Structure 1
Amino acid sequence: MKKNIVSLIGIIGLGVIVYFAYTFFFTPTQATSSLLLSKADIEKENFLHNKKAILYLSTTADQDIDGEGFSYAVFINKSGKAQALKMEGLELGSTAVYDNNVFLEEKDMVRLVGEEYKEFPMKTDQYTGERSGYIQEEEIFFSIYNSGFAQDGKGYRSDVRFGNEKNFQTDKIPFYIAASGVESDKVNILTQDVDKNEFYLKEVTFDTSLEVEHLSKVDTPKGEFFNALAPVLSDQTYYYLILSSAIDDFNEKTSLYRINKDTLQQETYDFIEYQDMKDLVATIPYNFKNSAYIYNDILYFINGLGEVYTFDTNTEEIQLKFSLEDASESKIRNNEETYFKDGSLFVLRYSEDKKEKYYLEEYDLTNGNRVSSLDITGLSELLSSVQRKSIYSYDLKVFDTQ
């Protein structure tokens, strides 16, 4: 009898442990539930009217093997309150903002949020994003994906989704894309042949169908392996590429390539040189897609140390313009992001000393001064609630702040 009582107590104890374990790992807290947006919330016509920024986070592609990967589109209002729409996962996913509309992507769907809500299920799942944006002349949103090698053995492919509130269609670019950038009428892409260690500049245009045109091979030195650190930038006269090459474990050089649009003549500039670094990984930008920008004939680039370098497109002068206040020199990132808009640099920052942990800073590009800082409520709580998976930030966009 005594053994039976002990056994019964053990069973009850095990049941209690299982119950609390299940509750802890699978049931969201009440506070977290209040931070989640529903489809009905984002369908409202005035949903975006008080929004300041949007942050995209997702699980990685390998975490979606069980089909339970997910992403968050986190909307931050002008008071700093964060609320998130939960979607299917998409590693390196991004968003696009134009006027009063936001383009959202996930593994098996794209959505338009703003003046009217639209969603478009996609037949083919995607797992690794490259870039999303808006083509003004065609009035379409697009998203490009580094999809992988084709099953028919005919090389690499990067799938594309593009459209507007009327419909979305799909196509493919038969290259691996190392970097990309948007102009008003096209997307510029830097493709890479990894085996040959060669880069090619191409342009993608959209009409009733997608077309890819080769522009130029990039004249990188033989015997050096390069990484693209920034989007493909352009002005009326030139294309601009920022590529880095590691000399050894402690030294690295970053070069700026400028290609004339008419003649395709190339110029190379020694942009940044890192010497005797303890950890070169710390210099990697917060986000390659949002690390560089051209404003008033000045090219701006921010590295992982919070240093903003400039290249004057007229005088060709290069300088360290300014640095973020209290920037970390660690390679550890806490979902921090950067985004250039108009004459400002916006930075999503993290501080263990702050109550809310996350805050959004704005820096004036002209003088490097910090002009504002907004504490974000709810984001740290949302991230802390994630169980069994790990999510990472992949994009930050800021709405018109007028």
Structure 2
Amino acid sequence: MDISAPLLVILLVAALALGCGLGYFFAQARAARAPGQEAHELAALQASAAAATARAGRLEEENNALIDRAKSDQDIMRALAPLAQQLDTMNRRVQGMQETQTAQSSQLHEQLNSAAVTQRELATETHSLRTALTSNSARGTWGEVELRRIVEAAGMLPHVDFSTQQKTSLVSTAGSDSRPDLTVHLPGGFHLAVDAKVPLSALLKAQDMTGEDQASRAARDKLLAEHAKAVRSHINELSKRNYPAEYPGSPNLTVMFMPAESLLSEALKADPSLLEDALGAGIAPTAPSSLLALLRSVATVWSSAKVTEEAQAIMGLGRTLVDRLNTVAGHLDSLGSALQRSVTAYNKTVGSIETRLLVTARAFESVDTSVAQPREIPSEKGQVRSFTAGELTIEGDSIGGA
């Protein structure tokens, strides 16, 4: 219990006033009472006053102790003020972090809910896709669409570098009405047939089996063997169609396209001799990556062929230009010869006039008329210039020379 100094002074004053009052009261009472009783009451009053004085002393000591304690507490509070300020700052930061964590937790919860919804939708779409791929027509459409995308990604143009579902009879007189899924046109009028195949039933069943016990592995290996057998069956079917025979002079090869890498890789794992047997039969099994590389090679061959064709055309134009330059040079040679003959005839005419005609004319001295004398063409002006360029000379002789 803390008692301030003013309160303590008031209490002391009240105690003194009470003591005085009691003294006065007892003095009056003593005056009215017997002498023995008065002495007894005076002793009691003195004892009470002494007790009050002792009590006041104790109160003063307690008050001093409380004052010292208050001063000590104030010193401690002043010392702890920076710490309290830091604790308040830390408290505000912790509250801010809690609010941020709450907001982040809410966002994370929303994102997890969205991911869960997306996962459920993906699972539904995947199940729908797997259900759709159980249909042979859907598989065929998937293979053809994927084949078209890869061909376009290779930079090939439709109806120029390739054709889809084109009868072999349209590009070969020996062709029948066979329709490969894709006909790749090669330089030189050659062609390459590409067929899309999607053996998927056994592979889907094998992928559905996730167990790792011996029975599950044996069943999965059996299904993969069935998948390899289905791939071999498609290879034998394409070999019987013999597309290369429809394109005389073309490569003896038919490309069998499978629209997923796993279709070919799993079959080769189950039957390692499958690829060698297929190539021996003239069939090249390809996945999207290998087909893209093949078509890029074809596109590169086309580019080289076009460059070669353009170079040959330029060489032909050069030969034609040289031939025509030779023809023009021949005409200029004839013109130069004619000019030389004209100059010679002119000079002969001038000489005849000067040596014969003017001699006769001078006999008419009586005629007061002067006869104009034509001038002879100097040799440096009458000389016809000949060609000196090597491209316009024939066997070392200049064309148009005198």
Q: TM-score normalised by the shorter chain: which range applies?
A: under 0.3
Higher strand residue share:
1
TM-score for both structures, normalised by structure 2: 0.21
Q: Which has the higher helix share?
A: 2
Give the number of the structure with larger relative contact order, counting CA–CA contacts within 8 Å between residues 6 or more apart: 1
Please report the TM-score for the alignment, with normalisation by the length of structure 1.
Answer: 0.21
The structure that has the greater radius of gyration is: 2
